[in-house]
Chains A and B, each alone.
Chain A
Amino acid sequence: MKSVRIVWLLVLVVVVGSLVASEATERAPRTNAERVNSLAGDFACPVCQGQSLAESEVPVARTIRAAVRTMVDEGRTDDEVRSMLVTRFGEQVDYTPSGRGLTGLVWVLPIVAGALALVAVASALRRWADADTKPEGGSRTFVGRPMTLIGVVALAVLAGILVARAAGDRSSTDALTGDIRSSTRTMLAEAAVAAPTEAEVLYTEVLEIQPSNVEALAYRGWSRWRVGQRDVALSDLDEAVVLDAGYPDVRVFRASARNAIGDYAGAAEDLLVLDGLDAPPIVYDLLSASRLRQRIAGGLAQNGELLFGIELLDSGLDAAAGGDRQAGLLAERGWLLAATRIPELVESGLANLDEAVAADPKDPYARVYRAVVRNAIAGMPEGAAADVEVFSSMVSPPPNLLDLMRSAGLTGE
């Protein structure tokens, strides 16, 4: 009897100790930003499936997060913010519902179920003990039920192994037993650094859990595009745009894909929408590095839609910040105008090329375009030499510009 009590005491110590330890290690948010993240993580995005406000990038989630941030900065308490969100968007969005009303059942039912289970176990133990009691009144013991004990130990070991495996897979922000929200976040992070084929599988898994996850849909489309699955890729990208027309990344992906298949007008439309979105600077850095806008404008000009191409470049100039990004766009603008060989436009184009060189004297396109225009179009070959010299001193210049220089007779080769 004494050994049974010791076992129960040990179980009690372990359970209570674990609960206390887990509660103690859950540090309360300290800064306003941490509070906003914590609150946003406790509420579902009202229009998404399985995503919290903290995870979703759809407009309504961004808007609500901003409102929460404002309230926190104003000094409102967490309870006030929670109350506001539940009042405005309903109890359905609350991942930790109050104990009031019908939703209180989510708190009461597990306790009732646990209590019932405890009573059932206690009752079973008593029956076993009674069955093991000797007629002459000997001590009660579990030893008479070795198979039961072995079964319990085996189950405990199995549960321990499963929990340990889950713990080994989790990230620092995952719950011990894992949950849908944390899992998808982890999967998205893994997919971001995975090879396209592997990333596509991960994004598909995320979409099985959260069909309206725009980030997963857009990036799966892009992964598929990169491995050559063009039709399904475009379908993903179209669907992502329908779900969230204001998600900058998908606009860039679809513009790139449309440009590659010769749909320059469609690609330009995506970038024009992007320019109205107040996208993060990194998006424009990527656009600048890839020269996507310039390539689309060039495609439009080749198709006889010069004005649309110029509009696209001008829109980029309005949205771009920083001289180097402007240099590339101005250079393309000048090049396209000068290529018309209409005197007024050539003059205008040369002015743009001058501006481009002034904005970034080391922009290879500005230098080569100006040299070619001066030499072959404007009849000013003497002015091309300086640009050729600067370009020739560049390390690893773009191969297409070398070809252009050769074809324009500006190199000795």
Chain B
Amino acid sequence: MVVGAVLAVLVLVFATRDTNRDRLITHLVGAVAPPVVGLDADGVLWDLDDQRGRWVLVNFFSTTCVPCIEEHPELVAFAQSHDGSDPTQPAVRIVSVAFDDSETAVVSFFANNGGEWPVLAADTGRIAVDWGVVAVPESYLVTPSGYVAAKVVGGVVREDLENLLTRALTAASTEAKR
């Protein structure tokens, strides 16, 4: 009787815990963005902390990953519409972080597929681990105050990014009015 009751409680507790999948989707959202520091393809030091005051999309990718190749045109389109030239659209900086890839392949990938934003390709393993990246592509929207507002697991679509940005802007505006 007692054993049965204990077992039932244990089943209930474990069944209602957060699963690994939940964690995969929500990890870091609402937390301070981990560091992203490194040399970009031009050898210029890029630091996420220097972007305070701006929205930033941190994109982890690999040139050998099919969803990464598929999402790239979406990122290019998103970057163009949020490059700051259109006053009706909030400016968003994109930074790509190559995951387990070679610098040569990354440079060639951007040369062939477009994308004018900074891309970090050398010694990026620690950045990926700090962000808890387990598979690419993964993208994170970082607020101007340096918090992770949203996370996308898998290839991004421009429309989804726009929706995420709108929601994050609304949430930030609501927060500011409090």
Which positions in A face B, CB cutoff 8 Å?
A: 46-47, 59-60, 62-64, 66-67, 70, 84, 88-90, 92, 102, 105, 245-246, 273, 276-278
Instruction: Tell whether, in the assembled complex, residue B134 and residue A89 are in contact, meaning their CB atoms are under 8 Å apart.
Output: yes
Q: Which residues of B contact A92 (CB under 8 A)?
A: 20, 23
Given A60-B134, A63-B99, A89-B134, check contact A102 B17 (CB 8 Å).
yes
A59 pairs with B102, CB closer than 8 A: no
> Residue of A at shortest CB range from B106?
A276
Q: Indicate with 1 or 0, residue by residue over B99-125, a CB within 8 angstroms of chain A CB atoms.
A: 111101100000000000000000001
Enumerate chain A residues within 8 angstroms of B65, measured Cβ to Cβ: 245
What 11 additional pairs, Cβ within 8 angstroms, besides A60-B133, A102-B14? A59-B62, A66-B125, A70-B126, A89-B132, A90-B20, A90-B27, A102-B13, A102-B17, A246-B64, A276-B101, A276-B105
Determine the chain B residues whose CB is within 8 A of the CB of A84 once the complex forms: 129
Interface of A (DSSP majority class):
helix
Other-chain residue from B17, B23, B63, B132 in contact with A276 (beta carbon distance below 8 A): B63
- A246: chain B residues within 8 A (beta carbon): 62, 64, 100
- Distance, CA A276 to CA B99, complexed state (A): 13
* Interface of chain B residues 13 through 41 with chain A (CB within 8 A): 13-14, 17, 20, 23, 27
**B64 touching A276, Cβ below 8 Å:** yes
29 of the cross-chain contacts (CB-CB < 8 Å) are A47-B134, A59-B62, A59-B99, A59-B100, A60-B133, A62-B100, A63-B128, A64-B129, A66-B126, A67-B129, A70-B125, A84-B129, A88-B130, A88-B132, A89-B132, A89-B134, A90-B27, A245-B62, A245-B64, A245-B65, A246-B100, A273-B64, A276-B63, A276-B64, A276-B102, A276-B105, A277-B64, A277-B102, A278-B102
Complex Cα spacing A63 to B99, Å: 8
Chain B nearest CB, measured from A54 CB (Å)? 16
Q: In the assembled complex, which residues on chain B have CB atoms less than 8 Å from the CB atom of A245?
A: 62, 64-65
Looking across the interface, which residue of chain B has its beta carbon closest to that of A67? B129
Q: Which residues of B contact A62 (CB under 8 A)?
A: 100
- Chain B residues within an 8 Å CB radius of A66: 125-126
Give chain A nearest CB distance to B106 CB in angstroms.
10
Q: A67-B125, A70-B126, A245-B65 are in contact. Are A90 and B135 (CB under 8 A)?
A: no
Chain B residues closer than 8 Å to A277, beta-carbon distance: 64, 102
Nearest opposing residue in chain A for B104, CB measure: A276
Minimum Cβ distance to chain B for residue A106 (Å): 11
**A269: min CB distance to chain B, Å:** 11
Q: How far is the CA of A246 from the CA of B62 in the complex (A)?
A: 10
Asked if A60 and B20 make an inter-chain contact with CB atoms under 8 angstroms apart, the answer reads no
A176 vs B7: C-alpha distance when bound (angstroms): 30
Contact partners of B10 in chain A: CB under 8 A = 105
- Cβ of B30 to closest chain A Cβ, rounded Å: 15
In the assembly, what is the distance between CA of A66 and CA of B63, in Å?
A: 20
Quote the shortest CB–CB distance from B164 to chain A (angstroms).
22
Complex Cα–Cα for A70 and B127 (A): 12
